[in-house]
Amino acid sequence: MKRLLLSGLLLVIAHSANATSIYAGQARAAAVCSQCHGIRTPSAEAPFPPLAGRDADYLQSALKQYRDKTRKSDIMNAIAGSLTDADIANVAAYYARLKP
């Protein structure tokens, strides 16, 4: 019985690791991204582009470009360098669903 429960649990964990998770995205955004992208300044010179409500595909491709360094930004190249495809999908899904 215990063994059955355990394998069921592992299945759930394995499954959620594959699926895009806005909850995982939210956790990462709160821990990392919001330090800069949460800051809202009305100034046109604000260095941090807003992410909320942006197209998920756009966010994903921007993050992959930063990771590949095909798009240059010292800050974002460093941050995106440690993101996996799943991380990118998760944060993109999270930000896309936020209301700007």
- Which residues form the interface with ligand HEC (CB under 6 A)? 28, 32-33, 35-37, 47-49, 51, 59, 62-63, 73, 75-76, 79, 91
**Token representation of residue 11:** 């299945």
In the complex, least distance from residue 55 CB atom to ligand HEC, rounded to whole angstroms: 10
Q: How far apart are CA 83 and CA 23, in angstroms?
A: 16
Q: How far apart are CA 93 and CA 100, in angstroms?
A: 14
Select 21 or 37, whichever has its Cβ closest to ligand HEC: 37
Select 32 or 86, whichever has its Cβ closest to ligand HEC: 32
Q: How far apart are CA 91 and CA 30, in angstroms?
A: 10
